[in-house]
C-alpha cells in the first residue's frame, strides 16, 4: 500500500457556500483503518478558519430527529459534525439576517468518511437513518442560556425529512418556535 500525503480528500462548498462538506482520506490495512478527523492547517486551507473547544458524542436510534438547534451570540457555535457509525440526514439552516441565503437550508446524508462544517449563524439538526453515533466538534462551549431552536417541520423552511411518520422527537424539540418567530442575533457577514 502506498503512502498518501494528503490526509483530507476534499473540502466541498455546498449551495450555501459557508457550509462545507469534508471528505476524509481513510487509510485501511489488515488491522482496520486510520483517519485524521481534524488538522488545523488542513481546515484553514479548506476554508474552515475555526478551532474547537468542546467535543460531544450522541447516539440516536433510527428515526430520531435532533433539530434545529443553535446558540445566540456571544456563545454562537460552529460545528464540525461527523458520523462515527450509521447514517444521518443532516441539515443546516442559514439564520443570519441580511444573508443572501437567509431562511434557506442545505442537507446531506452523512456516513463515516464525511463530515459537515456548519458555521456560526446556522441552525443545525439531523435525523438518524440508522442507529448512529454522531460526533460534534464545537467552537464554543455549550451555554444553556444561549441555546435556541426552530421547529424541525416548519413548512416555510421546506426541509424534506426522510422519515416524518414515526419520527422520534423530544418534547422540547416538538415545541420549538417557527423560523419567523425564532430569536436570532446574527447579521451577515458575521
3 state DSSP class of 178? coil
3 state DSSP class of 159? coil
CA nearest neighbour of 85 among 111, 115, 55 = 111
Catalytic residues: 69, 136
Could you tell me how far CA 31 lies from the centroid of its own chain? Answer: 30
Q: Which distant-in-sequence residues (6+ apart) come within 8 Å of 22 by Cβ? A: 8, 10, 11, 12, 46, 48, 80, 114, 115, 116, 117
Amino acid at each position: 500500500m502506498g503512502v498518501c500525503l494528503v490526509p483530507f480528500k476534499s473540502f466541498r462548498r455546498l449551495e450555501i457556500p459557508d457550509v462545507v462538506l469534508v471528505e476524509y482520506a481513510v487509510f485501511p490495512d489488515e488491522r482496520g483503518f486510520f483517519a485524521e478527523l481534524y488538522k488545523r492547517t488542513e481546515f484553514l486551507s479548506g476554508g474552515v478558519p475555526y478551532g474547537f473547544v468542546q467535543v460531544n458524542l450522541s447516539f440516536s436510534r433510527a428515526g430520531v430527529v435532533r433539530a434545529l438547534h443553535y446558540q445566540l451570540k456571544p456563545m454562537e457555535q460552529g460545528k464540525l459534525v461527523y458520523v462515527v457509525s450509521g447514517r444521518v440526514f443532516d441539515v443546516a439552516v442559514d439564520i443570519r439576517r441580511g444573508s443572501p441565503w437567509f431562511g434557506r437550508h442545505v442537507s446531506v446524508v452523512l456516513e463515516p468518511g464525511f463530515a459537515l462544517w456548519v458555521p456560526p449563524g446556522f441552525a443545525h439538526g439531523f435525523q438518524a437513518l440508522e442507529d448512529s453515533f454522531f460526533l460534534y466538534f464545537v467552537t464554543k462551549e455549550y451555554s444553556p442560556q444561549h441555546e435556541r431552536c426552530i421547529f424541525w417541520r416548519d413548512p416555510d423552511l421546506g426541509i424534506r425529512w426522510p422519515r416524518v411518520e414515526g419520527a422520534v422527537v423530544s418534547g422540547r424539540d416538538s415545541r420549538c418556535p417557527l423560523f419567523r418567530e425564532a430569536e436570532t442575533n446574527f447579521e451577515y457577514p458575521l
